[in-house]
Structure formats: structure tokens, C-alpha cells
């Protein structure tokens, strides 16, 4: 796993504005375990800020915030993801997000 983190960290260093590299780094950090969650949150947040129409980082950021005890911060992000899912006709993510939001 640390190979993926190193790979994407190097890419982010070379191109810090590249949201796709940041997204991949966030996923690698999240997979690495609880000691890397804060770093993953930071990169997901930058992805959310980079593109107003990008649903997936909002979903993953929201889920990660919930898992780290920050459900109140997760709610607006997940609501925004749900809105995107509906507008973009992504039925399965929309259903999943409704379920998550209903349980918050």
C-alpha cells in the first residue's frame, strides 16, 4: 500500500493542481488505515473544491467523515453528493446516499 501512496504523493508534488492525482492519493491513504485518515480527508476536500460536479469524492469524503466521528460535517457533503447523483442520473449512488442520510 505504501507504494501507491508514494506513487501518488510524487504525482501530487509534481502537479498539485491535478485533482485526479489527489483523488487517487486520498483513496490510497484511506486504504492505509486509521493513522492516514486525516490526510485522506484533506485530499478529498481539495477534490471537492476543485470540481463542483464531481460526485465520488463527496461520497467518499462523507463516508470517511462519518467513520471518524464527524457526522455533522458529513451531512452537507453527502446532501450535495445526493443532489449530484440525482442530476447526473446515478440511481445506485443516490439510493445509497439516501440510506446513509436517513441513518445520520
Which residue's C-alpha cell is 463527496? 58
Structural domain total, the chain: 2
> Looking at the structure, do residues 30 and 75 belong to the same domain, yes or no?
no
> Looking at the structure, do residues 42 and 58 belong to the same domain, yes or no?
no
> Looking at the structure, do residues 4 and 47 belong to the same domain, yes or no?
yes
Query: Between 67 and 34, whose confidence is greater?
Result: 67
> Looking at the structure, do residues 13 and 44 belong to the same domain, yes or no?
yes
CA separation for the pair 47, 34 (Å, rounded) = 20
Three-state SS at 33 = coil
Indicate if the pLDDT at residue 76 is higher than 80: yes
> Looking at the structure, do residues 9 and 43 belong to the same domain, yes or no?
yes
Mean pLDDT of the chain: 96
In this prediction, residue 78 carries a pLDDT of: 98
> Looking at the structure, do residues 69 and 35 belong to the same domain, yes or no?
no
CA separation for the pair 54, 44 (Å, rounded) = 11
Show the domain range for 85: 54-104
Amino acid at each position: 500500500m505504501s507504494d501507491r501512496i508514494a506513487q501518488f504523493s510524487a504525482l501530487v508534488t509534481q502537479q498539485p493542481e491535478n485533482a485526479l492525482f489527489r483523488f487517487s492519493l486520498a483513496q490510497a491513504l484511506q486504504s492505509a488505515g486509521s493513522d492516514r485518515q486525516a490526510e485522506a480527508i484533506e485530499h478529498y476536500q481539495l477534490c471537492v473544491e476543485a470540481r463542483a460536479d464531481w460526485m465520488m469524492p463527496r461520497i467518499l469524503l462523507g463516508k470517511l467523515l462519518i467513520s471518524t466521528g464527524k457526522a455533522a460535517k458529513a451531512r452537507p457533503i453527502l446532501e450535495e453528493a445526493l443532489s449530484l447523483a440525482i442530476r447526473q442520473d446515478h440511481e445506485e449512488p443516490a439510493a445509497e446516499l439516501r440510506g446513509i442520510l436517513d441513518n445520520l
